Structure 1
């Protein structure tokens, strides 16, 4: 047990001195190294940079040079590629081949300790979600052209799925990629909206329509962006995550080499949905830490703020609010920990099938929990929590960021429904397999 007092709800149980079955010595060493690096290079000025709506370019370079963008990738890391690029350890200690999803969880949790999604998202979103389609499905030739620069941070990427008329309904994407008459290029036309990191991206992993309507007509391309003919980009003003570079992209007869096709034509929907699992899980981890930051700030405030002749924490209604939200947040964190542990123990294909629907649900629930905890903190701060400066500034901003968890990566209602549909689908397929094994008799 830790002998040092900590603000209630400010740290996950394993960092508050309580025993946990999940964390090995390698994880605990990684957590300390992560906290030191991220505190020094990001957290100290995260709120200031978010207020300015842009994280300075040198911060991305510092993270890239230290290999501290790589932990945002799905585990296991692309060991063969990293060693080919001379990257053998992270922060001088953790071997890249020893990296698992619990290391990923620790990294995402530490990156969110500012309470804000924008500063960390400005650095990691492209690597976390734009690179995996290349790693999983790109041909050796395609990988050799792009991965060396992307994995080392010499160039930046993004994931470009969402459009003005196609958000959670991915199958409705309308951006077209038509082969040129000589068959050497795709001609891309359309628009992409709410693309995080897009404004800084040299290339994107983009969903396009190469065939007819519906999911079978979707493919993925590596599409050049920054400074490329036919591409125009502008930043969008959004309610939260303001420093993450949310971008509107217009594509007007953009010529993309045919060799930039990721995997096979018509397989884009499968690639996109598999990629979403990592995105949704990392969103859930970060959002749960944001909820923790909000509650811890509120706890610290009510311990020292006095009203009616005593500290706010002496008021039963204040304790009720903290208790209810604290229980939600710690339950959510326990789910996240258990979920990530399951991913480390299951083979990739089994995990995709068994946990795919639950990934959608854990992401959706993280948004619900963040919204409740941020609202609780804002109400306990009172007028200070409704002011964009001063002692409640961070809480006010976290509250504005809650919709940025509940909408992107699959909107909340769609995610809850998807989760149940996937669980039912798994149940039916297992039932049918069992019946076939018994000779196929049915009542």
Structure 2
């Protein structure tokens, strides 16, 4: 909690001195500890590294050694695995068995305080989305083979779903995995595109087609990547988040042991969709902080910038623009907090059903809010906000990153539609469950 005045919109209410029902002492200690760590090891150089388009390898190693990649996993954390690996707490602040999704939310929010998704994404995206399928659905042998090195950051992984012709339309993935006649290997052929962290990853949790068309033909495999025969990778130049290592992967007769199958054949679509919930919620948290960073920067600017003989903040039209976006970012954060709290209170199987569609909507809405706030900030900065250097550099960069929130993880229009369809489906299922069985006289 701040003890001195802070710039309007620069911090969530619980850090601006306002009461909140969500945060316990453990959460507040956690926020303080990780802000200090992230400020020292990421925040100070994030813009410089993003401009260079690559975060130095030593940064990943620093985060891995401190256990500061683990909080990007879905809560609750894999306590038994972590303790086996000698990890009992994170930064000496919170025990792994006490870590809940509010700790996760604080972590994602603090990692996004740079205002940029690329630097933090270069560190966390792989473990955050690539490891959970192995944790949730992999058999004991698969977990024993891969988790020790992945959880400790000795090896890197990624999630490889999207293809050149199949983005949000996951059911139409065409990368094939065909068993060899002796049944000992899958031969994988196809391409994956827009794979974050792929270029640095030894492994990937990959969606492949092991059966016929449609969702029932999909499976997931742990596919080796970096330096593996038949795998060719190159970085893609994207409009924003360049330092996150967006990658194009070509797979030409890649031989993968059948033991690398995650779960069972044909269940891949369920695994993928379950995994998306964590991805979309963390995107929503980070994007809301990015919107906050942009708006706070604009607020600082209008307080000191003068035009027509007075500070910009004295212009009613400027205040109106700022107020509209401030209301949006605070409303979005309130939704995120409420959403995360609900996740800590509901059993996971209930949360997946009740909150799945809403997760998609929260992710989509976060992109809309970021777009409005980043555009507002750029307009208030004027020419400085359109310049890739100087005092408006960060705002210019944030605005370029907006499509990277609105498209990946499920594009905005698809997410909004998915959210409503899921809510309607839940309503119909509950209505059907309440119907009186035929032939029954009971009310």
Could you say whether these structures have the same fold, taking a TM-score greater than 0.5 normalized by the shorter chain as the test?
Answer: yes
Change (3 A) 1:440 1:39: farther
Q: Distance in 2 between matches of 1:402 and 1:279?
A: 17
Q: Does 1:417 align with 2:417?
A: yes
Matches within 5 A, 1:31-42: 31-42=31-42
**Distance (Å, rounded) in 2 between the aligned partners of 1:427 and 1:294:** 38
Instruction: Report 1:108-123 matches (<5 A).
Output: 108-123=108-123
Show the 5 A alignment for 1:92-171: 92-171=92-171
- Equivalences for residues 224-235 of structure 1 within 5 A: 224-235=224-235
* TM-aligned CA distance change 1:438 to 1:333, over 3 Å: farther
1:105-130 Cα deviation digits (max 9, x unpaired): 00000000000000000000000000
Provide the rounded CA distance (Å) in 1 between the counterparts of 2:412 and 2:388: 27
1 CA distance for matches of 2:293 and 2:439? Answer: 56
TM-fit CA distance, 1:92 = 1.1
Q: Distance in 2 between matches of 1:75 and 1:337?
A: 15
**Corresponding position of 1:6:** 6
Q: 1:21 to 1:439 in 2, by over 3 A?
A: farther
Alpha-carbon deviations, 1:340-359, whole Å to 9, x = none? 00000000000000000000
In 2, distance between residues paired with 1:2 and 1:174?
52
Distance 2:431 2:386 in 1: 53
Shift of 1:436: 3.8
Distance change >3 Å, CA 179–CA 362, structure 1 → 2: same
Q: Cα deviation per residue 1:290-328 (whole Å; 9 max; x = unaligned)?
A: 000000000000000000000000000000010000000
Deviation of the 1:93 alpha carbon: 1.9
Match of 1:52 in 2: 52
2:305 counterpart of 1:336: no
Distance 2:51 2:223 in 1: 31
Give, in whole Å, the separation in 2 of the partners of 1:167 and 1:156: 23
Cα shift readout 1:71-124 (whole Å, capped 9, x = no counterpart)? 000000000000000000000121000000000000000000000000000000
Q: State the shift of 1:138 in Å.
A: 0.3
Hey, what does 1:379 align to over in structure 2?
A: 379
Report how many residues are paired: 441
The answer for the alignment partner of 1:203 in structure 2 is 203
CA–CA distance in structure 2, aligned partners of residues 436 and 356 of structure 1: 28
| Cα 1:440–1:308 shift into 2, 3 Å | farther
Cα offset, 1:4, TM superposition: 1.2
Distance 2:273 2:330 in 1: 28
Q: Distance in 2 between matches of 1:80 and 1:138?
A: 15
RMSD, aligned α-carbons: 1.0
Kindly report which structure 2 residues correspond to 1:421-432, keeping only aligned pairs within 5 A, or say none.
421-432=421-432
Q: Give 1:392 deviation, angstroms.
A: 0.2
Task: Tell me the equivalent position of 1:236.
Answer: 236
Q: Could you give the per-residue CA deviations for residues 148-206 of structure 1, whole angstroms, max 9, x where no partner exists? A: 00000000000000000000000000000000011000000000000000000000000
Partner of 1:185: 185
Q: Deviations over 1:336-382 (max 9, x none)?
A: 00000000000000000000000000000000000000000000000
Q: Given the alignment of the two structures, is residue 291 of structure 1 paired with residue 285 of structure 2, yes or no?
A: no
Q: Residues 127-147 of structure 1: CA distance to partner in whole angstroms, max 9, x if unpaired?
A: 000000000000000000000
Q: Partners in 1 of 2:333 and 2:439 — Cα distance?
A: 44
Mapped to 2, the partners of 1:440 and 1:353 lie a distance apart of 29
Q: How does 1:273-292 map to 2 (within 5 A)?
A: 273-292=273-292
Return the alpha-carbon distance in structure 2 between the equivalents of residues 439 and 423 of structure 1. Answer: 30
* SS in structure 2 of the partner of residue 113 of structure 1: helix
Scaled by the length of structure 2, the TM-score of the pair is 0.99
Gaps of 5+ in 2: none
User: What is the match of residue 84 of structure 1?
Assistant: 84
Q: Specify whether residues 439 and 373 from structure 1 end up closer, same or farther in structure 2 by C-alpha distance, changes over 3 A only.
A: farther
Q: Distance in 2 between matches of 1:106 and 1:438?
A: 51
The equivalent residue for 1:350 is: 350
Matched, 1:403 2:403: yes
- Helix, strand or coil for the counterpart of 2:242? coil
